[in-house]
Chains A and B, each alone.
Chain A
Amino acid sequence: MTLNKLFYPKLAILNLKKNSNTYVPYILTCIGSIIAFYTMVSIHSNKGLEQMPGATNLKFILFLGIIVIGIFSVIFLFYTNSFLIKRRKKELGLYSILGLEKKHIARVLFYETAFVTVISLTLGLIGGILIGKLLFLLLLNIIHFKSPLAFQIDYYGLLITMGVFLAIFGLTLLTNFLQVKLTNPIDLLKGGQHGEKEPKSSWIVTLIGIISLGIGYGIALSVKTPLTALLLFFVAVVFVIIGTYALFISGSITLLKRLKKNKKFYYQSRNFISVSGMIYRMKQNAVGLANICILSTMVLVTLSTTVSLYIGQESMRRDFYPLDVSIVGEVSNTDFAEINQIVEAEKTQANVEIVDELSFDMAKFRAFREGNHFKKDMVEDESTDALYYQTVSDLVIIPLDDYNRLTGENKSLAANQTMVFSVGDNYGEQTIAFGDEQLLVTEELESIPMDFKKTQNVGHVYYLIVKDDAVMTAIYQAMKNDDDPETTLHALMFNINGTEDQANAFSANMRSAVTQSSPDIKIQNLYESLSELYGFFGGFLFLGVFLGSLFMMATVLIIYFKQISEGYEDSERFEIMQKVGMDKTEVKKTIGKQILMVFFLPLAGAMVHVAFAFPVITKMLAAFRLTNTTLIFLCTLVGVVVYALVYTAVYLLTAKSYYKMIK
């Protein structure tokens, strides 16, 4: 057979046009993935970003994003491609019967993939360059990075993106070749109806599903500390994913089969059609539904955690910085009079106010608590992380006269007495012992000027008020570690009133002036940490929104493909039912009920997952010092509601095209 050279490309274009209702969404997905990938790569490699504080963290987050998007693209494009080729088996079989050899079919497939690749890469990269710039500006805004950065076209990024996606497209083409090669024309012709077997439900798989889900949920519910939450979260995720797949695949069929066995229930006109239809559909789409369920859960968890973190930064910062600025130096070698002068001068210069000023002596060291004993070393030999975390404590000792001066109270203490303030749960013991020395606890304080109670603390911090400097020094000398300073400390703490810019200027100038006069001094400044935290949590938020949108796109596409493929099948089925005597309104009602249940099952599943994940998420965020459970709850709730609305909108839109097919 001699064929015109242009025959294959022409046929390929014709095929793409004919299948445009599936290929257009597919190409859009490819474009979306390419845009996402290129954007991440180019932002990651942006030189200007390196100048910002906390750049290493941000870059790491972005790198993580590149990996996730890469893996996602591979999986998702493979999934959609296999869906498309499966639907076209009949068409390809027809070519084969009409006299196209397999190698000719392969050639047509090659041209098809080539067209898809060229279109996707061209539009994707152009889109990436345009949208990438927009997203870059968004990122800078989120991380509060003021100085304008140029966003250049990243040629290296373009090359990487092209390479990655050419490889992905090449692989999909190979699998399509394999599909054609491995099947004979008759099979290809039957392709559409192939494997329509009564689904087997296996109790073992169902059991595995239930157990996995149980373990996953169990871990999520039983996690006690933020650290274990961080460690076990991903273990729980894996179990939940396994459980979801197993239950969607087998559990749902087991359940439906039980319903089918109940003859009274099953042989009622509405149940009859929907139960059998769902069994049939479950088998075909259990994986698709499980995918939707897991993607939805991922969208919800990613969005709610990153938004919570971003919004919650303010309160988190307060946990680390009870007051905006704290300047701490050794009593022996620091001239606090001079430091006060510097602060005064800088304050006037930057035109800010200084309020809530605290100035006091203190000693500070780290020790390990066992009951009412504090020791220099770990209590037990087998030092596991969890145990370390439970026992390690920061102790701050303050003399009584400073305390009385700052609070305006008039308490008194004997040499062997102390008042305790704990930032977390109350200390709870009558005495407190350091080595041989033992102090009687006269009072557990409810508040203290230099710190405050935290609802869910990550570490233990105890403030002890003691009779005088002598007692403080004695304890400090007994307990201090080798790398702690020689003598006790003096602290100056205050808040800054002024605009963010003023405060930033003051902070920078004050730090350089103070460190010039006393090089060993330690300054902690909320404002200086701000930009770093913004970079960190802003980066997270950016990635969260970015991935959230990507997963959402995937969900929408899976739903759309499902509706289309089911529409074709169902239109035949319902035509037959009408011939046998089912009336139109009944048909419509049955369809409605059926797709509603099938579609909202994954959403319901995702919501249950999120509900169980909530405790572990709050614990995990506590590790980042985000302890505001109400805030996290609200963010999650808003996320779920918004997502449910979007999901419903997508469902309604695609249901429309589904109904059109049935008609």
Chain B
Amino acid sequence: MRLLEVKNLKKIYTTRFGGNQVQALANVSFSVEQGEYVAIMGESGSGKTTLLNILASLDKPTSGEVFLDGKNIVTIQDSEISAFRRDNLGFVFQDFNLLDTFSLQDNIFLPLVLAQKNYEEMNGRLKPLAKRLEIEDILPKFPYEVSGGQKQRAAVARALITQPKLVLADEPTGALDSKAAMNLLKIFSGINDLGQTILMVTHSVAAASHANRVLFIKDGEIFNQIYRGSMSNDDMYQKISYTLSVLASGGDDVE
């Protein structure tokens, strides 16, 4: 089943006082199937975050369409957009975006509280999730009291607790040391195995090599993509590295 469909997406930033225009996305089209684990790679400034923000309904495209489960999220009313985001999407950010005013547990509850779920239900959902992410013991702690890896796992729990159709992750391993990063990638693979659709932006080859499919973005356009097929993580790693080097040399004769 097709979960996400992106058609001819274009984004032009206009600086505040008119003048300069920056084309962040030129013409992006792709789709994601239910249960897929897709990585998006590209150099810094290639438009990855812009793309993700549009998919997250945090930003509007200049033109083009985005369908999530058949619903066009570009045309959703402003008044419904928060609820839509809360119900359908989960986010994992590079800098965690946990609130220091809340304990980890309350940070994880936040989207459910906003959706006016009662405490018993929230707690019922949290228990298995916390166990799987190995954060049961640190739930009462505050973000500034735990390590980066622990913070990111709490952020993953916050993204998953709403049982979203799609998890969006922007450089989720960017602020983690390699061990914590590996741990997080294992968790992503694990939840993907359970059927969770994931779209992850990264410029780490190691991170991308865990995905089923890698999209390469350059100058605001999809440049190439690699399917895992039956490849192992190591094979994926090799292939991604090769593609990136071609990408960097500016060549356009990949496969």
Contact = CB atoms under 8 A, between A and B. Distances in A.
Q: Do A and B come from one complex?
A: yes
A269 B101 contact: no
Contact of B82 (A193, A573, A582): A582
A583 B99 contact: no
Interface string B4-35: 00000000000000000000000000000000
Contacts of A197: 142, 144
B119 interface: yes
Nearest to B115: A581
Contacts of B101: 276-277, 279-280, 573
A427 B173 CA distance: 91
B58 interface: yes
A580 B158 contact: yes
A578 B109 CA distance: 15
A663 interface: no
Interface stretch (B37-45, B83-91, B146-154): B83-91
B111 A580 contact: yes
B122 interface: yes
A507 B135 CA distance: 91
A263 B93 CA distance: 29
A272 B103 CA distance: 12
Contacts of A584: 82
Contacts of A198: 103, 142
B100 A267 contact: no
Contacts of A263: 119
Given A263-B119, A264-B119, A579-B91, A193 B100 contact: yes
A576 interface: yes
A581 B113 contact: no
Contact of B99 (A264, A577, A581): A577
A268 interface: yes
Nearest to B86: A581
B254 interface: no
B97 interface: yes
A409 interface: no
B69 interface: no
A573 B99 contact: yes
A contact face: mostly helix, strand, loop, or mixed = helix
Nearest to A582: B114
B97 A583 contact: no
A581 B56 CA distance: 10
Interface in A58-90: none
Nearest to A581: B86
A267 B113 contact: yes
A483 interface: no
A263 B105 CA distance: 13
Contacts of B116: 268-269
Contact of B144 (A196, A269, A578): A196
A204 B119 CA distance: 32
Contacts of A264: 119
Residue from B85, B99, B158 whose CB has the most chain A CB atoms within 10 Å: B99
Interface in B109-127: 109-111, 113-116, 118-119, 122
A268 B87 CA distance: 17
A157 to B, nearest CB: 49
B81 interface: yes
Contact of B97 (A277, A280, A579): A579
Contact of B118 (A267, A277, A576): A267
Interface in B38-58: 56, 58
Given A198-B142, A267-B119, A576 B99 contact: yes
Contacts of B58: 579
Interface in A538-591: 573, 576-584, 586
Contacts of A573: 99-101
A584 B87 CA distance: 17
A264 B121 CA distance: 12
B79 interface: yes
A581 B100 CA distance: 17
Interface in A203-250: none
A198 B144 CA distance: 10
Contacts of B237: none
Given A193-B100, A264-B119, A579-B91, A276 B106 contact: yes
A663 to B, nearest CB: 14
Given A269-B113, A269-B116, A583 B100 contact: no
Given A267-B119, A276-B101, A586-B114, 16 more contacts: A198-B142, A268-B113, A268-B116, A269-B114, A272-B106, A573-B100, A576-B98, A578-B82, A579-B56, A580-B91, A580-B110, A582-B114, A583-B79, A583-B81, A583-B83, A586-B82
17 contacts: A198-B103, A267-B119, A268-B113, A268-B116, A269-B113, A269-B116, A276-B102, A277-B101, A280-B101, A577-B99, A579-B93, A579-B97, A580-B97, A580-B114, A582-B82, A583-B79, A583-B82
Interface of A: 193, 196-198, 263-264, 267-269, 272, 276-277, 279-280, 573, 576-584, 586
Per CB-CB distance, the 9 closest pairs between chain A and chain B, nearest first, are A581-B86, A583-B82, A280-B101, A276-B101, A576-B97, A263-B119, A581-B85, A272-B113, A267-B119
